Amino acid sequence: MPSETSFSKLFLSGLKFAVDTSVFIEIEKYYSEDNNPDIWDILRLCSRNNIFVVSRTVIEELKKGKNYEKLSIYQLANSCKAKNEENSLLILKDLMGKYPKWIPPNVSTIADHHVVALAKANNYAVLSEEKSNSNRLKNFKHQDVSNKTKIPEICKLEGIDCYNLLQLVAKFK
């Protein structure tokens, strides 16, 4: 279970994270606020201390879900909203030019792309629950990019640290 000490280690590390929609969905699904108040306390501390930063497109993606506006997880995500994303827009344009096959057809939002651009523009790590096969990730190359490419794979190509929730807890235990 996370503790104040875990938060202190995280805070003192100086790391900040661009957080993907999948993290908020995972938290809502498996770590209800009623049953996991310690986890939620740590999440709120991360929000208040700007350790977690969320792109506007992640907020938009959450709005498409099952009435997230009324849930604590939406409020948490909204409290982490990036103050200024202008610098990440140039990086986003660069990423889309560099990996044109990463853009899914018929998609109304490219939140994953914004998360990676936000991280790269601000020297943040990424926090995502997207999964990539470890062998695929280890050998992943630019020519492997497709519209099914996951955030950890693009992060690897771009030299961005990428964690999931369990990895984050383990790192700062």
- Please state the domain count of the chain: 1
Element (H, E) at 77: helix 72-79
Place of tokens 């948490």: 76
Q: Domain of 126: which CATH number? A: 3.40.50.1010
Do 81 and 114 meet the contact criterion of CB atoms below 8 Å apart?
A: no
Q: Which tokens belong to 55?
A: 């792109």
What would the pLDDT profile of 73-90 be if each residue is shown by its tens digit?
A: 888 888 889 988 888 999
Determine the pLDDT at residue 172. 73
Query: How far is residue 7's CA from residue 153's CA, in Å, rounded to a whole number?
Result: 27
164 closest CA partner among 4, 25, 56: 25
**In this structure, is the dihedral angle defined by the CA atoms of residues 98, 101, 106 and 112, taken in order, positive or negative?**
negative
Using pLDDT thresholds of 50, 70 and 90, give the confidence band for residue 3. Answer: low
Do 56 and 88 meet the contact criterion of CB atoms below 8 Å apart?
A: no
Place of tokens 């999440």: 43
- Domain ranges, residue 105: 4-171
What would the pLDDT profile of 66-75 be if each residue is shown by its tens digit?
A: 666 667 888 8
Q: What is the pTM of this model?
A: 0.88
